[in-house]
Chains A and B, each alone.
Chain A
Amino acid sequence: MGTATLEKNDSAGPVDSAENSATHLITVVLRIRRFNPEVAEESSWQDFTLKIDAKERVLDALHQIKWEQDGTLTFRRSCAHGICGSDAMRINGRNRLACKTLLKDINPEKPITVEPIKGLAVLKDLVVDMEPFFQAYRDVMPFLVTSGNEPTRERLQSAADRERFDDTTKCILCAACTSSCPVFWNDGQYFGPAAIVGAHRFIFDSRDEAGEQRLEILNDRDGVWRCRTTFNCTDACPRGIEVTKAIQEVKRALITRRF
């Protein structure tokens, strides 16, 4: 089972990477962790076999299954190009966005496993309860705090000061990092990497004045100190954010109180 067979649909044109418009359909197996408490109390694996172009996204494969084989298969998605953060899932054991993962890049010759992200309650199939995740984010005061009179024009910020927190502004709150963190799996109270990334984005913004308050929040027993620096989060982040580094910088700021 699971050997990919190549079927070339169209023989026209030279074969050169992206310029090749020919469709190569391969047969892939998606092994999906299903769960629907309306139907059964336990989750179980289900295999779906489909023909699809290896250049397509895992999201396209999920859609093809939902639309052509089993309408009850349930997952979240919206933008389909890695911007909205809806479709983080565990694909072949690693957290990724289904819309940013091409089949050809994850060895489609073997069954591809697809599971919900870990550490958050599964509600149905690949849909998990995101509330605790967003609550942790909201708890770190993820907004600019300033005092004094507002300037009439914009606040000035040097390009270097702006660059200081650029990396952490990219977060799309997909939860791939937090749900790949062993500490979070064991202790759902831990703020988790994404919330710390959210705090970092403001702590290191030269315009902000609430760095101390945020650091106090993160100094808590469920705060940054629980991080064991396993780098899972950095590996998982689809935005290429250096999550572990951001956490380290927050830890350092807690010790030195300089940021």
Chain B
Amino acid sequence: MQIHKYDTVIVGAGGAGMRAAIESTKRSRTAVLTKLYPTRSHTGAAQGGMAAALANVEEDNWEWHTFDTIKGGDYLVDQDAAEILAKEAIDSVLDLEKMGLPFNRTPQGRIDQRRFGGHSRNHGEAPVRRSCYAADRTGHMILQTLYQNCVKEGVEFFNEFYVLDLLLSEVDGQRRTAGVVAYELATGEIHVFRAKAVVFASGGNGKFFKVTSNAHTLTGDGQAAAFRRGLPLEDMEFFQFHPTGIWKMGILLTEGARGEGGILRNKDGERFMEKYAPVMKDLASRDVVSRAIYTEIREGRGCGADKDHVYLDLTHLPPEQLDAKLPDITEFARTYLGIEPYTDPVPIQPTAHYAMGGIPTNVEGEVLAGNTDPVPGLYAAGEVACVSVHGANRLGTNSLLDINVFGRRAGIAAAEYAATADLVELPEEPSKFVEDEIENLRDATGNERVVEIRKALQETMDRNVMVFRTEQTLKEAVEEIGQLRKRYRNISVQDKGKRFNTDLLEALELGNLLDLAEVTAVSALARKESRGGHYREDFPTRDDVNFMRHTMAYREVGDDGTESIRLDYKPVVQTRYQPMERKY
């Protein structure tokens, strides 16, 4: 076991982690631990754009953006945080441009902007062009630009280091951050990183669904580590299903396709969104469009032999426009479906996309141990975190924004904290938990296989915790996940080696997914209302009297070692916007 000492340790090198690293490296001795090479992070898959009311192509302002964000999140958004997001958006896009990001340009040479779902002028009057973009490769450009600037700033990376545990120590009756424990993929060695401040920026957890736009590696390791250490997870029942994933595969086709004029059609060729959202039509917010698609499918108007998908129709758009604005997604259709989008509609279905919930933080990025008290020295930003700027449903282009605004804030706050704080003593046997887990897995001879449990988990999540939920489906999910967790104790891995043992890591990742799936299903079962991405057929309306509050889920361990999930609630911060009915 090796022990390292840093001022600030950042876990994750996606957009949020690298944006934080650029700030914290300037201010403190920083290490970035990442399970993937930085440029492999899933931020690179983001396509459509990053929202900011630059008003480069039409009138716009950050107040409209704030309102859209709050309405899009079905009023579960903390309004103070949304205001910061929308205000700081402008500088955060300009900062990226100055760092070199090659945005598409207007004829005047300014950053070009396009339409995106849920973004409107003057509080819902009409769609507005607010998304700053680089073709359909905006995330790729952000990831590359941030990596390039990390090279420039000399950020220190530990690549292919898997963080498996968070170390907290009691100091004067208060839990404080002591560091993290990481597993080095190349050697199988365990490393303890002592740090004054730790920033979790380890991304989402969409891999507990089967049809998903998320990478194989998005397994919620950060959320799971915090949860195991007794920290709460906020609003985990809110997961976004993006309307347009490639049928069966889940690969994303950006909402920018509809922003450019693409239309959703059912088997009769009908533009069905006109029925569900007369003003915003195909550009209504994602939860609305995903439900509309499934309603069409359920009512027999789906396409194909099994009537299990609908079409994204781009055929009326000029090929030059597709080549210039949507080159990657049109190529995905050609590569993976053998379909030419110039002439043929593309079969799509909703795909599990984005975790609105996560590790609760305040607007400085400090992680909360309860409804209000931060854990000294612990920060989180990006998809792993819940600030909450996305509430019950995130607007498209607001996450690339979130990772930049709150990644930067967390990086600065962590480094500033580290400048004045001392290293906290390590807890006793700091690496014991991780060493035991790994030893147990290596030595295990059980007859359960990772692949089967993961498959069963993904199937139950797709069947029971997707776009439409009921008490019955959620109970079934909780029950099945419970069974799978039992079976998980009996798994074994085939690779017993130390070198690049990805077999072992997949098993650990599955453990994290199981924990988080359970929190998600339990939180969803308790929320007897429909709001944003969480839709209960048995409670189809929003219930502000009982549920205008954030879910806070805690892991409890009884004296006999039995684990359970305790749910608590936290009020939503409201400033100037009163909840209204959400219409598009």
Contact = CB atoms under 8 A, between A and B. Distances in A.
A82 B98 contact: no
Contacts of A40: none
Interface string A11-27: 01110011111000000
Contact of B100 (A84, A86, A127, A205): A205
A224 to B, nearest CB: 20
A80 B335 CA distance: 12
Contacts of B110: 153-154, 156
B305 A19 contact: yes
Contact of A169 (B102, B215, B347, B495): B102
Given A66-B503, A79-B215, A85 B105 contact: no
B53 interface: no
B305 A205 contact: no
Contact of A38 (B37, B107, B216, B497): B497
Which are the 7 A-B pairs with shortest beta-carbon distances? A144-B100, A71-B494, A13-B305, A156-B109, A67-B451, A71-B503, A143-B148
Nearest to B90: A153
A70 B148 CA distance: 38
Contact of B102 (A74, A86, A165): A165
Contact of A155 (B98, B107, B144, B149): B98
Interface of B: 36-37, 39-42, 44-45, 93-94, 97-100, 102-111, 134, 137, 140-141, 144, 148-149, 151-152, 186, 215-217, 248, 251, 303-306, 308, 328, 332, 335-339, 347, 449-451, 493-495, 497-503
B505 to A, nearest CB: 11
B335 A20 contact: no
Contacts of B336: 81, 102
Given A72-B494, A77-B216, A81-B332, A127 B44 contact: no
Given A19-B347, A77-B216, A79-B44, 14 more contacts: A13-B305, A72-B495, A75-B502, A78-B215, A79-B40, A80-B251, A138-B151, A143-B100, A153-B94, A156-B110, A159-B104, A169-B102, A172-B140, A205-B100
B151 to A, nearest CB: 5
A154 B305 contact: no
A99 to B, nearest CB: 10
Interface of A: 12-14, 17-21, 36-39, 66-68, 70-72, 74-86, 100, 102, 123-125, 127, 130, 134, 138, 142-144, 146, 150-151, 153-159, 162, 165-166, 169-173, 202, 205, 207-208
Contact of A81 (B40, B45, B217, B347): B45
A36 B39 contact: no
B204 to A, nearest CB: 13
A202 B144 CA distance: 12
